[in-house]
Chain A
Amino acid sequence: MAISVEALLLTKQYSSQPKGSRPALDAVDLHVEAGQLYGLVGPDGAGKTTLLRILSTVMNPTSGSARLMGYDVNKQAEQIRSRLGYMPQAFSLYPDLSVMENLRFFADINGVSHGKQKSRIDELLEFARLTDFTSRRSENLSGGMRKKLALACALVHEPEILLLDEPTTGVDPVSRRELWQLLAKVIQQGVTVLVSTPYMDEAERCNMVSIIYQGRILTTGAPVDLERQMPFRIVEVKAKPRGTLRQVVDKIDGGYGWRAVGDRLRLSVVDPAGVQARIKANLETAGAQISILREARILMEDVFIYLVEQQEKQA
């Protein structure tokens, strides 16, 4: 498989950062194969935006190198720009221009010929379901529609690579789903997509995921593989009264701690069968009523929490 995006030891130290402090991006390596839907997952401030800005030629790295489609982001920015679609995190279209005017502007500026423009724009309007809103100013669009328009504008010149910085942040759940469906369609057309997100559950939709934290890539792999590689299993428990449940769970050392998700507690444990037995016994002794007690699937969130804790133990 051809490599579409390749970063080697990419480092960014902002001039506003105090000297000697941890760089915003710390020797990051990244390999994205052509045609992949690649997820860059990490909390706010992890360095996702910095990495995407460097890859999209918006910003220069302090050191290290990166290539897109074989072109160097520092020296061959122009070759990259004509083949790249980029959607920044903030809404970055012209608020006083209509949906159609924005699309036409980005088509023109990217050199899409007039002959091709009409069919391409119609296709994208259809794709983003914005056909009925062509004359509406983009400032009057809803959050989800703005994101879809931004996506359409980033795709108007049929780029080979699409870089998306948190496209689903600040968007309602329905629009989020819709955006991911759109990305799936983009992938089907052979475009390589690199998307960043702070939502761990969204990582599961990607072919390949890198977890980024404090400027470093903690791990990379297919979501299924990452989950399989973890040295723990998950036990899920729900019982009443909740105070008693917490007391019981606190006393059980399953190996990797626990966290509350909704009305349940999730324990990361080495020995799921043994832990379940102990919880059951202790809860019954305390007179609690158990409604759920079972082994559950490992989620990306569990992977992330485990990796961050390991990282912090090392430090």
Chain B
Amino acid sequence: MRQSFRRMMTIVRKEWLHIIRDPRTLALVIVLPVMMLFLLGYAVANDVKDIPLAVADLSHTDTSRTLVDKLTVSEFFMYTHAAQSENEILAMMDAGIVKAGLYIPESFGRDVSTGGVGTIQFYIDGSNPTIAQTAQLAAETISQSMSQEILIKRLERSGTGMQLGLPVDVRMRYLYNPDMKRMNFMIPGLVAIILQVQTLLLTAFAIVREREQGTLEQLIVTPVRSWELMLGKILPFVVVAFVNVVMTVAVGAIWFGVDVVGSSALLAGLSLIFLLGSLGLGVLISNISKTQMQAMYLASFIMMPSFILAGLLFPRENMPWLAYYAGYFLPVTYFLEIVRGIILKGADFFTLWVWIWPMAVFSIVVFFASVLLFHKRL
């Protein structure tokens, strides 16, 4: 046993030297998560607002100006261009100068004030569905609330003497992510990405490199056992992955204000279990790859579905049933629920149990299978 431990630590020491001696990889390992954090934070996750809007107000009345004000005050739209006609709006839409256009015909103000129906035309650039949906929803909501206000005024003026209000008052309250910030959705996802992608790739590379270099042949004839070799190679990457997770969560909290509501110790513990599965997959990939290039391609077979099906970037609820259930075959799906649960909701072990046990079973099976399947033969 002491001999075993000594041999394993010899591998660990050597692996550390490899990591430290290769500054480019080391830099990537540390810089990549931070870079992804900022990319997701500033480039991808920006919630839709200030959609450039062109307005052609031919009505020139208080009512029409109120409508335009309400749209721009909402922050969904930014009044960037004034137009004189419908055609001018369409030309600006074609050129991509504005993403939305509002045409208020000359008769609008008169129609509304005389108790009729004032028609307005709203244009939306549908090429980006996210922007289009937001714009549509915002425009509808704003115009409806304005219609209601006008309706109430008309009824009051008709002299029923009643205090009029809307019969149903819906009060929304968001739990867990009160500000509806995209970053709150992203940071937990990023923790999962780092643990899945980085550890899988680094482990696979570390073992395939020995094969590519020919050093594996030399290692085979030494007394080191398969599991000593595997554990020795894996341990340094567990440390690296953990440093990265801590860093991601810390930057998330300090810079983006996404605090960990739940227990950090629980998060660390469950991350470790998930990590075992990722490392195991890396070892399995390295077992069937002869070159680092092959390992890279094989890894993307696991990585792409993880990104898309597990609910990392897109909510799983909107997926077709096949994609939805396929997600259950990916351990990262469970882990995402766990990380979001702990960071955003402060969920505890028992609440998360439904997600924990499938992930734990997967991780442990894959990990032990990978270590046992590694044969010290060419």
Contact = CB atoms under 8 A, between A and B. Distances in A.
A229 to B, nearest CB: 36
A109 B377 contact: no
Interface in B207-224: 213-215, 217-224
Contacts of B213: 92, 94-95
Interface stretch (B14-22, B80-88, B136-144, B253-261): B14-22
B22 A109 contact: no
B377 A108 contact: no
B7 A58 contact: no
B229 to A, nearest CB: 9
Given A58-B378, A60-B377, A105-B10, A94 B223 contact: no
A82 B3 CA distance: 13
B110 interface: no
A108 B10 contact: yes
B11 interface: yes
Interface stretch (A40-48, A83-91, A206-214, A236-244): A83-91
B211 to A, nearest CB: 11
A97 B218 CA distance: 15
A227 B13 CA distance: 52
A110 B221 CA distance: 9
B17 A88 contact: no
Contacts of B222: 81, 106, 109-110
Contacts of B6: 108, 111
B17 A97 contact: yes
A24 B250 CA distance: 58
Interface in B173-210: none
Interface in B16-75: 17-18, 21-22
A101 B17 contact: yes
Contacts of A93: 215, 218
A57 interface: yes
Interface in B223-244: 223-224
A88 B223 contact: no
Given A108-B10, A109-B223, A58 B17 contact: no
Contacts of B220: 56-58
Interface residues of B, number: 25
B221 A94 contact: no
A58 B217 contact: yes
A120 interface: no
Contact of B217 (A77, A78, A82, A92): A92
Contacts of B17: 96-97, 101
Interface in A101-127: 101, 105-106, 108-111
A82 B223 CA distance: 6
Nearest to A85: B221
Nearest to B14: A105
A79 B213 CA distance: 26
Interface in A23-59: 53, 56-59
Contacts of A60: 377
Interface in A209-245: none
A95 B18 CA distance: 10
A48 to B, nearest CB: 15
A97 B14 contact: yes
B217 A109 contact: no
B7 A109 contact: yes
A78 B218 contact: no
Nearest to A78: B223
A42 to B, nearest CB: 20
A59 B220 CA distance: 9
B19 to A, nearest CB: 10
Given A59-B378, A96-B17, A111 B223 contact: yes
A141 to B, nearest CB: 15
A296 to B, nearest CB: 41
A92 to B, nearest CB: 4
A222 B350 CA distance: 77
Contacts of A77: 376
Given A56-B221, A81-B222, A82-B223, A109 B214 contact: no
A88 B10 contact: no
A57 B376 CA distance: 9
Contacts of A53: 217, 378
Given A109-B7, A109-B11, A111-B3, A84 B221 contact: yes
B223 A92 contact: no
A82 B220 CA distance: 11
A94 B378 contact: no
B18 A94 contact: yes
Given A58-B217, A58-B221, A111-B223, A96 B21 contact: yes
Nearest to B232: A109
B348 to A, nearest CB: 44
A96 B16 CA distance: 11
B7 A86 contact: no
A227 to B, nearest CB: 34
A109 B224 contact: yes
A90 B18 contact: no
Contacts of B14: 94, 97, 101, 105
Given A94-B14, A94-B213, A109-B11, 5 more contacts: A53-B217, A82-B223, A92-B213, A96-B21, A153-B218
Interface of A: 53, 56-60, 77-78, 81-82, 84, 86, 88, 90-97, 101, 105-106, 108-111, 153
Interface of B: 3, 6-7, 10-11, 13-14, 17-18, 21-22, 213-215, 217-224, 376-378
29 contacts: A58-B217, A58-B221, A58-B378, A59-B377, A60-B377, A81-B221, A84-B221, A86-B221, A88-B217, A90-B217, A91-B214, A92-B218, A93-B218, A94-B18, A96-B18, A96-B22, A101-B17, A105-B10, A105-B14, A106-B218, A108-B6, A108-B7, A108-B13, A109-B7, A109-B11, A109-B219, A110-B222, A111-B3, A111-B7
The 8 closest A-B pairs by CB, nearest first: A108-B10, A90-B214, A92-B214, A92-B218, A86-B221, A96-B21, A88-B217, A109-B222
